[in-house]
Amino acid sequence: MTSVAGTSDFSSIHTILKQHASLVDGFSHLQPVILDLFACDRVTIYQRRRQQQDLVAKFKNGSQTVKIEVPITPQSIAGYVALSKQSLLVPDLRDSDALKQIHPRLSFAEQYDQQNQFVTHNMLCIPIVHTDVLLGVLQLINKRDTMFGESDLCLGQMLAELLGQHFCYELGGTLRPWDDLLHRKLISRKALEALYSEPRYKNNSLLACQKLINEHRIKESDLGSALSLHYQVPFISYNPDQYHIYHNEHILNVSYLKHNLVVILADAHDKPTILMADPSNANLIMEVGQALNLTQPEIAVGLTQHILQYLGESNTTTAPGDMDEILDEISTSTDIDDEHVDELSDDAPAIVRLVSRILHDAKRLNASDIHIDPEKNGPTRVRMRVDGVCRDLNNIPASHHNAVIARIKIMANLNIAEKRIPQDGKLAFKLSGRLVEVRVATIPTVAGEGVVMRVLATAGVMLLSKMNIAPSNMQKLHQMILKPHGILLVVGPTGSGKTTTLHAILGHLNTPDKKIWTAEDPVEITQSGLQQVQIAPKINFTFATALRAFLRADPDIILIGEMRDKETAHAGIEASLTGHLVLSTLHTNSAPETITRLLDLGLDPVNFSDACVGILAQRLIRTLCPKCKELYTASETEREFIVRQYGDEYLQELDLQDDVTLYRAKGCDACGNTGYKGRTGVHELLSMTPALRAMVYRKVSAHELAEQARTDGMRTLIQDALRKLLKGDTDTKQVQVLGGLD
């Protein structure tokens, strides 16, 4: 019956749309049909205003036309659905916590009900999209006698698709980005179809633009007009006199912006605009808006070459691996002194290029460390640690080893004549206009001087929602960081991502009403709105000294890079007890062990247990390459491994089936045939419950604390890794390496 009724109603809707030139004229006829189809009280159809970042719904009220305007922002249901291009089924609009789970800014505007003397209970909201371009939103309110369900959602999406086809013609959009060039007779149909069909142009907007400009003599302004018509947003060309980089833009690093072909601009009034090569990418718009805390940004489309120009990329056609590009892009912060030219020999220019190439490759591969390892009877090995694993990159002839070391020492302001003792320094170089800092350590070996270079993080702040923290841990973490005072510790070995996690937390807390001070060594990640301080132990400016200074500077939140000693730990506890939220790190292996370590330092157990709100322990494990990972059914041995390591008493949490599906590494060009690309965090989060506090008072062992923490809901690093194994993020081998079980 439902299917037949639905078919009949859809036929009526199709007829009504055909009979009326515009939606506003046909809405009074559509409304009763849609209300009957969904058995609901109200229906609103919003249309996206052409070239605008808002929605408008129009109704005929007698001879007058009434308008409802809604901005495309995450503050409203319709605005969020338009921005995300995702359907939303809301069973209770007054459940503010449920709305916040969808998006932190999402809320229900009750004044609409008050103005119209109406009570909204539940809602189904569906984006109206055609060829991946947002055209409007279908909003259904108050399902009679029940809630909207999956069948309503499917039916609504069918209706939205039908409306999308009608809206497309009504708004005058195009099916494909360059179709308007054909309509304006700027290109032949044959040439346009050839452009669309060739993969290298279809998947590379820069090459497509260059072909249209160079071969078909089409102006950039005409290309912009075609994109503007297709995406229904304004076009902005490269105009540095009118637009400048938005002052908060540095939160997102340049490599992220270049990779996604997006830049945040501002006009003379400092009004932000997100300029994109693909404005139909709803996820990217939401991610950028949230990272920069933009409540209502304008969206515009730009040509790829113009976006790269705004980002400081003057030459967009040079191949990334070209040595000429390396010489142009990389300039060291320290020039070669005349007195050291002899040390570099006659081959100095080649040595300069070689070192520059090594640094360039390290950033390209996203390496954390570079190792220059001399061999007794052979060439010098250059290795890089990528995703936590060392890779052999290339070899340097033994005859050039001393010259390479001398070049690195000069860049790091080290003594090139001293080869008998270790030296530490820092160098900086520019890559694509962005400064990259590298810590340098030289170590004498029997084969000659070796060098280890740590590439300091230059990425922007990672969103807390992108940290791959389990939902249960994320919920607890949110509760902890929203407390007005207390201390939260992030623990783990060197290189486990503690700083990244802390800055993600600060990024979440970084609002205009909070004053945040950080003391770090070194300051790797910068954020607008934070007062960040670099520790300098050589002049006795330590973490403890900085912390004492912060307490006189009216802080709300304090980050202490590391609790290295009793003095710093004690000062941090005191600060948290006097009304401040304190974040810090410690080098311990697990969350429960952190408690015993701090008590062993001599901290008062009562003060510590009262101050501590939680301890987050973490590690990084390698993730499988998304392009080549293989699906397979786990063997009985692997299934037993999962059961044994997760624990019988908690096994119901995993909902394990008889046939467990896992992924394994394969290898492709994208991951260098390793099967792995990138790393993700695994976490254990200890909450300071009353039971745990009582145990801390008694100074019980770490084992007893761990047992109580698990009873209170903490899941260990191995248990969290197993969850990510079942999710398909990693494989069994990486879980075994984490637990030392391989």
Whether omega before 522 lies within 30 degrees of 0, making that bond cis, reads: yes
Q: Pairing between strand 123-130 and 88-90?
A: antiparallel
Phi, psi of 130, rounded to the nearest 5 degrees: -135, 125
394 CB-near residues (< 8 Å, 6+ apart): 382
pLDDT at residue number 595: 93
Q: Nearest Cα to 499, choosing from 549, 544, 560, 429?
A: 560
Structure tokens at 492: 């783990």
Domains of the chain, residue spans: 2-171, 179-310, 323-455, 464-738
Helix (H, G, I), strand (E, B) or coil at 605: helix
Length of the chain: 742
Distance between CA atoms of 60 and 158, rounded to whole angstroms? 25
DSSP reduced 3-state for 206:
helix
Residue 346's pLDDT is 35
Give the orientation angle of helix 702-711 with respect to helix 591-600, to 10 degrees.
Answer: 140
For residue 146 the two structure tokens come to: 């029940």
Query: How much is the pLDDT for 348?
Result: 43
What is the SS3 string spanning 613-634?
Answer: EEEEEEEEEEEECCCCCEEEEC
> Residue 694 and residue 671: Cα distance in Å, rounded?
49
Q: Which residues, 6+ apart, have CB-to-CB distance to 336 below 8 Å?
A: 344, 348, 352, 407, 410
Identify whether the C-beta of residue 501 lies closer than 8 Å to the C-beta of residue 618: yes
In sequence order, the β-bridge partners of residue 266 are 244, 272
* Residue 142, helix vs strand vs coil: strand
Mode of pairing for the β-strands spanning 486-491 and 581-586: parallel
What are phi and psi for residue 277, nearest 5 degrees?
-80, -25
Transcribe 66-127 into DSSP letters: EEEEEESSTTSHHHHHHHHT--EEES-TT-HHHHHHH-TT----HHHHHHHT-----EEEEE
Query: What confidence score (pLDDT) does residue 685 get?
Result: 95
Contact 543/564 with Cβ under 8 angstroms?
A: yes
pLDDT in tens, 302-313: 888 888 888 776
Q: How many CB atoms lie within 10 A of CB 174?
A: 20
In one-letter notation, the amino acid at residue 396 is I
Question: Do 2-171 and 464-738 agree at the fold level?
Answer: no
For residue 468, give the 3-state DSSP assignment: coil
The residue type at 345 = S
Q: What angle do CA 459, 461, 465 make, to 5 degrees?
A: 125
Digit-coded pLDDT (tens) for 413-440: 899 888 999 998 888 877 666 678 888 9
* Closest to 485 in 3D by CA, of 580, 609, 379, 389: 580
Q: What are phi and psi of 348, to 5 degrees?
A: -55, -45
H/E segment holding residue 411: helix 401-411
Phi, psi of 622 (to 5 degrees): -70, 140
Residues in the chain with pLDDT values less than 70: 1-9, 21, 50-52, 59-66, 116, 167-173, 200-204, 241, 247-251, 268-269, 313-349, 431-434, 457-460, 741-742
What is the residue-averaged pLDDT of the chain? 82
Question: What is d(CA 488, CA 494) in angstroms, rounded to the nearest whole number?
Answer: 18
pTM beyond 0.85: the answer is no
CATH class, range 2-171: alpha beta
Contact 371, 450 (CB under 8 A): yes
Is residue 245 a contact partner of residue 310, using CB atoms and an 8 Å limit? yes
- Bridge partners (DSSP) of residue 449 are 444
Distance separating the N- and C-terminal Cα atoms of the chain: 59
Surface-to-core class of residue 639, CB atoms within 10 Å of its CB (0-12 exposed, 13-18 middle, 19+ buried): middle
Residue 718: Cβ within 10 Å count: 19
At residue 449, the pLDDT reads 93
DSSP state, residue 238: -
Helix axes 23-38, 150-171, angle to 10 degrees: 170
State the Cα–Cα distance between residues 469 and 296, nearest whole angstrom. 28
Q: What is the pLDDT of residue 457?
A: 67
Strands 516-520 and 557-560: parallel
CATH of domain 323-455: 3.30.450.90
Strands (E), 581-717: 581-586, 612-624, 630-633, 661-664, 676-687
Q: What's the count of helices (H) and strands (E) in the chain, helices before strands?
A: 29, 25
Spatial contact of 477 and 490, defined as CB atoms under 8 Å apart: no
In terms of Cβ atoms closer than 10 Å to its own Cβ (0-12, 13-18, 19+), residue 636 is exposed
In CATH, what class is 464-738? Answer: alpha beta
